[in-house]
Chain A
Amino acid sequence: MSSLTNHTIETPNERQNRHKAMEAIKVLNTLREGFKTPPNAMEYFYNLFEEVYCNQKALHCDKVKVGTMCIQIPSEIIYALDGVPIRLCNGFYADDEIGSDLLPQKACPLVKASVGHLASKNVIDKPDMIYSPTTCDQKTKAGSIIESFGYEVVDVAFPRTKESEISREYFRRSIREFSADLSSKMGKKLSRKNLKAAISKIGYAQSLYHKLSEFRKNRAVPILGNDMFLVTNAFFFDKIDNWIAACEKLVSELEQRVQNAVHVAGKVSPRIVYTGSPPIFPNYKVPLIIEDSDAIIVADETCSSNRMFNDRVAVDEWFVNDMIDSLADKYLKACTCPVFTKNDDRIRRIIELVRSHNADGVIYQAFAGCTVYELEQRSVLEAMEREGISILYIESDYSPSQQGQLSTRVEAFVESLKIKNRNKK
């Protein structure tokens, strides 16, 4: 860099940061100001995202950062070994564009963005190693591409049928291997004590999520679906103790709101269950359109939210190996990821969420290029029809351009739900 002139040319990294900051702040400002009365406790999360994505603040300088490509890597084990899990799923259009040069045109934007982000080498809290479960084709292949950028990537074999006993055994072994590998890299042993403590801590974090979800079952919904996505999204990278403390505050504030019957949507706003490809910050395009169209998301079935927290680990005898096996079971058996052969469980989960949250309809979003969600669309639509549940299927990507067309479709769907509700009365 020349010192002769103050006039500096923006480097590609700076440009990327600037674009990302713009994407981030746009969403954060909408959440802060675009809706009526966000809970005060949300301020923590807005600031967190602003710090990390607009000001490039690193959170874990003193810790070993363990990148994960999907939710099937047990964070309990990473915490027990004193690492910090960083989920690498990415939602930035700026990163998606970088990734587009490295992956096929028709690939999933989430995978492109995740790859693009790592390819840029411009990574805050850069992972010291990455574990990549072999879930969908694109994520599976992404691992080796990322490796070519100089990251240490370890594949974690993941079966795609979950009913069979062979799969259970297979994934248990896979997770045992993962634990051994991480343990040797960290130079620390898993012990009954550290693993149990990590399981309890994550379990407690999950219980907070469950409490938050419970509030959304009420007639008066105290928190927006978009805010909830932000909360769960923060779990991807935040310091867990801070996250827990912030959620505790949110829980007590919402408790109060429920007592006062504070409702963040309109009186007749239809209640929506959101499913499909995960909204990952700042790609809240579809959820924002939904809640902008006078509907409210009361629950979701996505891997950036519900699927991360819903299922719990139970252990009978608290030995290290039992805990590892139980963890493996939880991350495989309860998972409703669409990569599996059959997916009755996902359908049952959606129906259960609709019933328990008294929802009026389901919105199913798939990223163009996210083959598994696209493939599963049919069976889910059929099942919803059988159950008499209204559902809208939409395809989207990370580009800011299609907004208008999506809004029209969502608004029409929301309108139809309102009419249905009126006729019911």
Chain B
Amino acid sequence: MKRKIQNFINNINLLKVRFWIQLTTFILFVYGGYFAIDFGSKLPMFTCPYNTQSAGTCYLLPLQHQLAMPAQILLGGAGIGVLIGLLTFVFWFIFLNKAWCGYACPIGTFQDWLTGLRKTLGIRYSTYTQNQFEKLSKIKYILLAIVILVPLLIGVGAIGNDWSAAFCKICPARMISPMFSGDFSQWVIDFSTTTAIVLTALGMIFSALFLVGSFVKKRFFCFFCPMSALHFIFSKFAIVQLRKDGSKCTKCGDCYSVCDMQIKDIADDVTSTNILRDDCILCLKCVAACPEDDVLHFDILNFKAFSSTKEGFEKRMGMEKPKGAFDE
């Protein structure tokens, strides 16, 4: 019985299942507000509160606010608040690890839909060269530094309050997310101060880039997402993991060729057991595309919940016996 269930799961059509999960989580987190659903303000994904109907809040906003408190207050009792905030964030995070990105984040899902649109139009995706990839994928750490350092600088009085929530001002999700509930009011440049002009103008540029970029490149924005960088710090502690048994890996590169994030290690690293990399969105497409038994697997604690199998591979790639074709 257990075997049967396992086979059933390993044979699933992952792309379909994922589509429906993403649709559900999208509705839940983007429109949950209409049903008074609220998951709090420490969610480990871009459920942006600038969309007033969000069923929760992206942790980066409260984090920036908390860190921007005057230094004395922060070092006093308020530090506890920051810590509790962080713990709450980590609490959410450890359940899904980076699968928050692959299955729940509305901004991630939205990018996948843009990809879907491109596919329907018959346009091919673009990729980065390995060189570009290595350079670009560092940007998310720079952005994470902005998320953390800018508020601290405000706190010690080095820069003014117009820098408050600076990252949000340049974050494309601030302009994109409200659009989901028909609100386009974020598409303006704030002329109150020079800083505001610069930041909101940048935000507008990034949002435009986001739309164009995600249309041509799968998960264009996720490469740069500081949330993804923050995830990675805690990813080892999560209860779900992406693991690999390299001894059976043939380095065929099938996993790599379907990976939206162009993670090379997934194919080429045959020694690490934990194969989750900082760019990974734990979409599990690689597991679904690996043709070797049990090489890649998605584990809940130490239980293999979804493994690569020959049979599953053949099903998903349409390589089963063609119907009616080979009758003698």
Residues of A within 8 A of B (CB): 163, 165, 168-169, 196-197, 199-201, 203-204, 206-207, 210, 241, 244-245, 248, 310-317, 319, 321-322, 325-326, 329-330, 333-334, 345, 348-349, 351-352, 355-356
Contacts and interface: CB of A to CB of B under 8 A. Distances in A.
B252 A204 contact: no
B268 A314 contact: no
B254 A312 contact: yes
Contacts of A315: 257-258, 317
Contacts of B257: 314-316, 325-326, 329
A207 B314 contact: yes
Contacts of B325: 201, 241
Interface of B: 119, 122, 124-125, 129-130, 247-248, 250-258, 264, 267-268, 270, 285, 289-291, 310, 313-314, 317-322, 325-326, 328
B258 A314 contact: yes
A333 B328 contact: no
A203 B328 contact: no
A165 B319 contact: no
Nearest to A208: B321
Nearest to B286: A314
A310 B317 CA distance: 16
Contacts of A201: 322, 325
Given A312-B317, A352-B248, A207 B258 contact: no
A201 B254 CA distance: 18
**Which of A315, A317, A330, A345 is most buried by chain B, counting CB atoms within 10 A of its CB?**
A317
A310 B254 contact: no
A314 B326 contact: no
A200 B318 contact: yes
A352 B119 CA distance: 38
**Which of A321, A322, A333 is most buried by chain B, counting CB atoms within 10 A of its CB?**
A333
**Which of A245, A313, A355 is most buried by chain B, counting CB atoms within 10 A of its CB?**
A313
Given A165-B130, A317-B124, A322-B124, A203 B254 contact: no
Contacts of B319: 199-200, 203-204, 206-207, 312
Nearest to B320: A204
9 contacts: A203-B318, A203-B319, A207-B320, A241-B325, A245-B328, A314-B258, A316-B289, A329-B256, A334-B253
B124 A311 contact: no
A368 B119 CA distance: 52
**Which of A163, A169, A326, A355 is most buried by chain B, counting CB atoms within 10 A of its CB?**
A326
Given A245-B326, A322-B124, A203 B267 contact: no
A312 to B, nearest CB: 4
